[in-house]
Structure 1
């Protein structure tokens, strides 16, 4: 399964905490715990849980079902972002979330490139129609 961005973010938090504890990182340089509070991680994981639960059915579905699932996950992530003052997902996080959605679909047998091309979109425009973050 594609690695969730939240897994990476938690790994960064743990690494930073270990470096702080070891004295190899100045506390003024620590930022991951502030960037990714537990509430944000939990809310994002809840959205991704719902998306992942839909994935098996998408392999059998048509493009409209796939786009509907993408719309639902993106709108739910928009709500998470809104709940965090519109700054939950910065550039790196946006890229990780978009890559995760693409990879998760691809692993289920969805040809994302062909799917987006049928709508006159580039592969990396899969989420753009609904994405506010």
Structure 2
């Protein structure tokens, strides 16, 4: 099962907190909690909850319906990013989110390579049409 990016981000926050408490990390070098405030994590999880729930209701894997679900998750993530002054998701986070979307689609029976090829897209262009983050 695909691991949510927010799970990884929370783990990083916890590890950093442990290092700070142990004195093995200079407080000036600590950044995880600032990069991933709880409000951002909760908003991102809510979007991913909806994405997963929508995929679970697809009785057929047809291109139009899959693209509609992808569009909705990307637009919702755009809104989360906008709510955080356009800097919620940096390069690593963008890649993690796109990879997560790809993995979850695959787990729900979507052949992402075939889907994107049918629409003359590269595999990693699945979210590009709507993505602003």
User: TM range, normalised to the smaller chain?
Assistant: over 0.9
The SS at the match of 2:115 is helix
Structure 1 gaps, min length 5? none
- In structure 2, the residue matched to 1:61 is 61
Whole-angstrom CA distance in 2 between matches of 1:112 and 1:23:
45
Whole-angstrom CA distance in 1 between matches of 2:32 and 2:13:
5
- In structure 2, the residue matched to 1:49 is 49
Rate the CA distance shift 1:23–1:56 in 2: closer, same or farther, 3 A: same
Tell me if the contact between 1:113 and 1:123 (Cα under 8 Å) persists in the aligned partners. Answer: yes
Q: Which segment drifts farther, 74-83 or 58-67?
A: 58-67
Matches within 5 A, 1:7-86: 7-58=7-58, 60-86=60-86
1:61 to partner: Cα distance: 2.8
1:56 to partner: Cα distance: 2.0
Whole-angstrom CA distance in 2 between matches of 1:110 and 1:34:
36
| Two-structure CA RMSD over aligned residues (Å) | 0.8
1:58 to partner: Cα distance: 3.5
Structure 2 gaps, min length 5? none
The SS at the match of 1:128 is coil
Aligned residues: 133
Whole-angstrom CA distance in 2 between matches of 1:64 and 1:13:
38
1:43 to partner: Cα distance: 0.3
Whole-angstrom CA distance in 1 between matches of 2:68 and 2:58:
10
Task: Provide TM-score, normalisation by structure 2.
Answer: 0.98
